[in-house]
Structure 1
Amino acid sequence: MNYMEVTMPNYSYVFNFEEEFVHQDTRVWMTKNWKYGFYYVGIYMIFIFGGQHYMQSRPRFQLRGVLAVWNIALAAFSLMGACRTVPEFFHVLRNYGLYHSVCIPSFIEQDKVSGFWTWMFVLSKLPELGDTVFIVLRKQPLIFLHWYHHVTVLLYSWYSYTEYTASARWFIVMNYIVHSAMYTYYAIRASGRGVSIPRWVAMAITCAQLAQMVTGCAINIWAYQLLKAGDRDCHISDFNIKLSLSMYFSYFVLFARFFRKAYLERKSGGLKKCSSADMTAAASPGLAKVKGGE
């Protein structure tokens, strides 16, 4: 296929900051500064475990208002990211098919809107580490899935951007959509306005996360088969596929295990009752940070 003949999605409006986006400059920056991701992860790990030790003998912070604002901001960002990347995703699927969506990155098509929000997605993995700050300061349970997910997603996203991994189109769109619902759920619980959210909502978000992991594994397996069949035009490396598949499979196992423990295990006479903190954790990639919606 002649990639220069590929048409662009019909965006109703393009912002100036999107129009001025230059993907080559961001790739150069990420390539030169890839070590920063490991520095941030190191600081993050020191903070969460050092912070937990520091808070052991100290009263927990409430931070109800700050937490609500934080979740509203992340929900709004995720919703905006979804609105700007979904059109390109479905445009590609509808007009060029599954192969193109997995193997041809949007940057080849010079789609600045999708390119900008791909860049924002990668950068957002750094401030999202702030979710853990609330867990530590509020002395909430910090499960392995939480910090493992944050660390691996940040490092993988930064690495993949330097390669312009084409299959990331799938991962980014799925993540934006699920995070839109997830952070909206958190914002409502954190508002403390007495709003009662049905238990099935948390379960539905968890199921969406599980579906995300299954889809991620399927896309990676298919891309791997393409490479093994000798397809040299598929813009994804063998090493990247192995990293991504390992991550998605491990997430699926951890999510499935948590879902079973939180919702399906039976105690005397009925379903196990899980705490609100557990429900929050189950609905997200390890974000066990809000107990009782606080």
Structure 2
Amino acid sequence: MIQLSPPTLSTSVHLTGSAHTTCMLLSHSPQPRLVVNAPSHSYKKKIEFRKKEIKDASAMVSVTPSLTVAAVSLTASSPSLSNPFMYVHHYILNFKGGKAHQWMCASTHAPLVIVVCYLVLVHGGPRVFARLLGDKPMPGLTPIVAIWNLFFSIASTIGFCYCAPFLFRVVTMENSELPGLAPKKDRITGEWDQHPHIRGGLFTSLCYWNRNIFEDGATAFWLLAFNLSKIFELMDTVFLLLKRKPIPFIHWYHHTSVMLFCWNAHVSGISNGLGFAVMNMFVHAILYFYYFMCVCGQRKLVRPFAPIVTLLQVSQMFIGLALMLYTTWLYATHPGGCDTNAFSLAFGTVMYLSYIILFVKLFRDSYLLKPDSHERRRCAKVS
């Protein structure tokens, strides 16, 4: 009787990726050979079992790679699975602020409503809180205020570390073009430039607006966070009311005016906003940490730095006014003009000029006329 020889094991298929499965394929011997014995029943069962194994392994070949690719794709698109800090950094670098900008443009009434409510709180709040709390501050407020100040100090520091190096590169790249600029519409001709070729320098840092600087990307994220933070900083006034402390004019005037200016700056797309934001982030990183130390009971430790903190604020106002006046001059005389508007320039000039008057007076009253009371004034958060 003629019978085929038993199947021999040959070709192996090895799956790569997350699954490692080896399936064995059967191949017949090249030629039949004569055997005397007839095929047994057990041998036929073995052949059927091997065929079933091959079928199951083939199914795994078609399914497993797709699962592997899906797992790899999920890991690559979700940095939070491995490192939440890298996820946040990835989000900031790839930030798209178009929707936020559209919302702010469509909500120009929002800052006005906030200011009205804030002024009602400033002038009517002391009597309300006097009835609720009497002359005693709200209990349990110290740790909340400490965390609040520390949060703003850390956030300002991180924002400064993102924005300051970029601003420095823009100012110093006078002999090279800025990379990664988005298509921009020419303010004079109205035509779109798909590939802007703009060199760096002081003029560019003050007079050039591009979507990939002020609306999308890491710098845009921190500028948006900076502008919106001026709303949250109004909580400083609430904390003063809860601590049963007076609200000086410089405090509420500074908060309301800077919030309105920052909202207008973001909506209008002023070209010189980055410089003001970087300065303010630097000063606030120090200022809020100073307040944090005061709240934590370290007044004696930070007392020698009180005049320096106020002097930093005064210097910021002088530099801000100088940049605003220089931008106004470029806006009026430079052939290329500036990506800003006359209202924003006038608003900023008046605002910084008033700040100079108020903060110089604060410095004089706190450290020149009444040197013994400067620590009490500084820890009262007058600005």
TM-score, L = length of structure 2? 0.66
Residues 208 and 339 of structure 2 are in contact (CA less than 8 Å); yes or no, is this contact kept in structure 1? yes
User: Equivalent of 1:181, from 286, 289, 295?
Assistant: 286
Q: Which residue of 2 aligns with 1:140?
A: 245
Gaps of 5+ in 2: 1-85, 174-199
User: Equivalent of 1:60, from 137, 143, 151?
Assistant: 137
1:215 aligns with 2:319: yes
The CA distance in 1 between the partners of 2:257 and 2:299, in whole Å, is 34
Q: Aligned pairs, how many?
A: 266
Matched residue type, 1:215: I
The CA distance in 1 between the partners of 2:171 and 2:238, in whole Å, is 39
The CA distance in 2 between the partners of 1:103 and 1:48, in whole Å, is 37
Matched residue type, 2:125: G
Matched residue type, 2:151: A
Residues 230 and 255 of structure 2 are in contact (CA less than 8 Å); yes or no, is this contact kept in structure 1? yes
4+ residue runs of structure 1 moved beyond 4 angstroms?
A: 108-111
1:255 aligns with 2:359: yes
Taking a change above 3 Å as real, the CA distance of residues 91 and 230 of structure 1, as seen in their structure-2 partners, is closer
Matched residue type, 1:53: R
Residues 290 and 302 of structure 2 are in contact (CA less than 8 Å); yes or no, is this contact kept in structure 1? no
How far is the alpha carbon of 1:163 from its aligned partner? 1.4
1:113 aligns with 2:212: no
Matched residue type, 1:116: F
The CA distance in 1 between the partners of 2:312 and 2:304, in whole Å, is 12
The CA distance in 2 between the partners of 1:174 and 1:135, in whole Å, is 25
How far is the alpha carbon of 1:205 from its aligned partner? 1.1
How far is the alpha carbon of 1:83 from its aligned partner? 1.0
The CA distance in 2 between the partners of 1:162 and 1:263, in whole Å, is 39
Written as runs of structure 1 = structure 2, the 5 A alignment for 1:199-214 is 199-214=303-318
User: Equivalent of 1:33, from 107, 113, 126?
Assistant: 107
Q: Which residue of 2 aligns with 1:245?
A: 349
How far is the alpha carbon of 1:106 from its aligned partner? 5.1
The CA distance in 2 between the partners of 1:260 and 1:116, in whole Å, is 37
The CA distance in 2 between the partners of 1:87 and 1:258, in whole Å, is 32
Show CA shifts across 1:166-199 (max 9, x none): 111111000000000001111111112x562243
Q: Which residue of 1 aligns with 2:17?
A: none
Written as runs of structure 1 = structure 2, the 5 A alignment for 1:164-179 is 164-179=269-284
How far is the alpha carbon of 1:145 from its aligned partner? 0.6
How far is the alpha carbon of 1:92 from its aligned partner? 0.6
The CA distance in 2 between the partners of 1:107 and 1:150, in whole Å, is 28
How far is the alpha carbon of 1:39 from its aligned partner? 1.1
3-state secondary structure, aligned to 1:105? coil
Show CA shifts across 1:104-128 (max 9, x none): 1353557601011101111111111
Taking a change above 3 Å as real, the CA distance of residues 240 and 168 of structure 1, as seen in their structure-2 partners, is same
How far is the alpha carbon of 1:232 from its aligned partner? 4.1
Structure with the higher helix share, 1 or 2 = 1
Q: Which residue of 1 aligns with 2:159?
A: 81
Taking a change above 3 Å as real, the CA distance of residues 123 and 112 of structure 1, as seen in their structure-2 partners, is same
TM-score, L = length of structure 1? 0.85
Taking a change above 3 Å as real, the CA distance of residues 279 and 100 of structure 1, as seen in their structure-2 partners, is same
The CA distance in 1 between the partners of 2:266 and 2:106, in whole Å, is 12
Residues 23 and 115 of structure 1 are in contact (CA less than 8 Å); yes or no, is this contact kept in structure 2? yes
Q: Which residue of 2 aligns with 1:226?
A: 330
Root-mean-square deviation (CA), in Å? 1.9
Taking a change above 3 Å as real, the CA distance of residues 130 and 264 of structure 1, as seen in their structure-2 partners, is same
User: Equivalent of 1:277, from 376, 379, 382?
Assistant: 376
Greater CA deviation, 199-208 or 241-250? 199-208
The CA distance in 2 between the partners of 1:26 and 1:233, in whole Å, is 27
The CA distance in 2 between the partners of 1:166 and 1:141, in whole Å, is 37
State the structure with more CA Rg: 2
Residues 41 and 151 of structure 1 are in contact (CA less than 8 Å); yes or no, is this contact kept in structure 2? yes
Quick one: higher RCO (CA 8 Å, sep 6+), 1 or 2?
1
Matched residue type, 1:83: C
Residues 106 and 114 of structure 1 are in contact (CA less than 8 Å); yes or no, is this contact kept in structure 2? no
